Structure 1
């Protein structure tokens, strides 16, 4: 066996170890810089807190959907069935968020057009992950060509004056 064949694995291992140590140090440095920025910047703290609240709202929505559809149990006998159930829960949560986002966008446009500052303040506090106005029991119809949801009629029924 050639001497270079014996030397090469050692060089690769030490180079890989050095690279790994460098990435680990870089990761610690980035986390330290972020932590220092977080401690010094109140706006960043508010933004992070707001983001954490959005994540918590999404998890509460998913939990509600799971409780309604399966009492928070893993429904399904196989891993595939459990995965399909989880994907269905995510789909329902995303549909709720999309529906709420469309409603909130319509309300925002209407409030900006009328200059209603009181309604704008209220609108800023409403989460797209809210579900209290929805009824989750029953049959889900995601696409009904004969009777589509009329968002303009729904928005017309909301009066914040």
Structure 2
């Protein structure tokens, strides 16, 4: 049994929409993380603290984001 083939736009639209929503959410999280890192960089620079710690942190990390709404 082979993979199901999408034959019309009505079937393709929800898949495209879902992908666009996922990309938008990912971009929001990356922007949020980059903003936090930028503030941390400014704080550490102004207080003369070591900046090497920030070299190992990626704005693409998701561990601190709760996508399920439960605490």
TM over 0.5: yes
The answer to which structure, 1 or 2, has the higher relative contact order (CA under 8 A, 6+ apart) is 2
State the aligned residue count: 60
Distance 1:122 1:133 in 2: 18
Distance 1:78 1:122 in 2: 47
Partner of 1:104: 37
Q: CA deviation at 1:137?
A: 1.1
Larger Rg: 1
- Structure 2's unaligned 5+ residue stretches are 1-9
Partner of 1:142: none
- Pick one of 61, 64, 71 that aligns with 1:133: 64
Instruction: Give the TM-score of the pair, scaled to structure 1.
Output: 0.36
Alignment pair present for 1:79 and 2:9:
no
Structure 1 segments of 4 or more deviating over 6 A?
none
Instruction: Give the TM-score of the pair, scaled to structure 2.
Output: 0.80
- Pick one of 8, 12, 23 that aligns with 1:90: 23
**Root-mean-square deviation (CA), in Å?**
1.1
Q: Report the secondary structure of 2:22's partner residue.
A: helix
Task: Give the number of the structure whose residues are more often helix, by fraction.
Answer: 1
Q: CA deviation at 1:122?
A: 1.3
- Structure 1's unaligned 5+ residue stretches are 1-76, 139-161
Distance 2:11 2:34 in 1: 35
Distance 2:47 2:14 in 1: 50
Distance 1:110 1:101 in 2: 14
